Amino acid sequence: MKQRRVVITGLGLVTPLGTGNDKSWEGLIEGRSAINKITLFDPEASPCKIAGEVKDFNIDDFIETKEQKKMDRFIHFGLAAASIAMEDSGLKVTESNADRIGVIVGAGVGGLPAIEKYEQILLQRGPKRVSPFFIPMTIINLTSGHISIRFGVKGPNSAIATACASGTHSIGDAFKLVQRGAADAMICGGNEAVVTPLGIAGFTSMKALSTRNDHPEKASRPFDRDRDGFVMGEGAGILVIEELESALNRGAKIYAEIIGYGMNSDAYHITSPAPNGEGAARCMKSTLMDAGINPEEVDYINAHGTSTKYGDELETAAIKTVFGKHAYKLCVSSTKSMIGHLLGASGGVEAGFCALSIQYGMVPPTINLDNPDSECDLDYVPNKARELDINIAMSNSFGFGGTNACILIKRFTRS
């Protein structure tokens, strides 16, 4: 059976640059850093005092007051982003199509703020004071559950928890469901909110986070020799994807087409990438094979690019392995330089950025790239956005445990 074509018809972005697609995209193209001192808790005792927080988020714009207490912050973001994406797409859910529309939204950690809060309540006030909503507040699949309830969609419903690859795996799995005919449309992506005392402490103890507290806007600097770790971010990125013919029949706006998806494992280490980036390279190769395109056809890569030495260097090596001489003709940029690392939300947000890059013909920059690492010698679009006629973009996500995910997004044409 001929595979069905799958297009992106809606985007919903909640990022440290702002709530909504326009705010996020405008800040990105301006090369604006959204990293600042943590305000969600008092960080003075922490070696890391900075993060990318969503500071303009008004929960009342998206969720009724009585429902807000049933959800942790990551679900707030995911449901808000889904609401933005569904409004953007114009997709109407009816009795006749509800069971053909599904949801897959992932997170890397889930409801850490609620876990920290209710652990203290348990210890200080006893078990009877723990909210009956505590478990539904914290478990990762409840974002998908709330989205399905909000919009009445009754098709496939799942959640992915693959660390920093969660958002990309969610989109890729949803893409395959629509492609093979198990659904006609999917709401998919990732959400995360773990800027908490325990979350920051845990990553700091791994020596993973930047401690450039005096100049937070300079802290996230992928591919730069002076980087000292990644910066935590929070937010959500949700896409509405549809089978092409149904999208065309309802006159939907089409951002781009998803044409390939790859996933694999390093089978090497719980946190470090495989030597020479060989797992990432295999994942990118399988994504190209799934799409049936040659490496030379890719114009832009939204890199995983976390601002860690091994991560940046090994992703660069992997790109060289896969793309050969063409690697030096590609534009490669890390939007984490502006918003930080959103963990499980990063893949959803970055897929949205790729779709917007194709639509507007603009490559977001890698800011703070002042002194490139000698091992990082590709074109990372340093410090300033660039106009580029993008036909195909790749989005990379590589997570702890050696789990890898890549997707390919193409400018939509009828043929």
Q: The tokens of 2 are what?
A: 């001929």
Cα–Cα nearest to 173, from 415, 374, 394, 407? 407
Given the residues 169, 283, 341, 376, select the one marked as catalytic. Answer: 341
Q: The tokens of 240 are what?
A: 């509405």
Q: The tokens of 325 are what?
A: 């001489």
| Residue-wise DSSP of 302-325 | E----S-HHHHHHHHHHHHHHHGG
Given the residues 76, 146, 169, 304, select the one marked as catalytic. Answer: 304
> Angle 189-191-197 (CA atoms, 0-180°, nearest 5)?
160
Q: Is 73 helix (H, G, I), strand (E, B) or coil?
A: helix
CA distance 72 to 58: 14
Beta bridge partners of 36: 51
CA distance 42 to 55: 16
Dihedral over Cα of 194, 197, 200, 203: its sign: negative
Strands 101-106 and 157-158: parallel
> Angle 142-167-286 (CA atoms, 0-180°, nearest 5)?
135
Given the residues 48, 164, 331, 406, select the one marked as catalytic. Answer: 164
* Backbone Cα Rg of the chain: 20
CA distance 407 to 209: 27
Residue 341 a catalytic site member: yes
Q: The tokens of 169 are what?
A: 């795996």
Q: The tokens of 267 are what?
A: 């089978």
Q: The tokens of 263 are what?
A: 């996933």
Cα–Cα nearest to 277, from 309, 319, 307? 319
Residue 76 a catalytic site member: no
Residue 164 a catalytic site member: yes
Burial 24-44 (b: 16+ CB within 10 A, else e): bbebbbebebbbbebebbebe
Class of residue 326 by CB neighbours under 10 A (exposed 0-12, middle 13-18, buried 19+): middle
Dihedral over Cα of 356, 193, 344, 137: its sign: negative
CB 222 within 8 A of CB 369: yes
Residue type, 218: K
CB 146 within 8 A of CB 236: no
* Residues carrying an active site annotation: 164, 304, 341
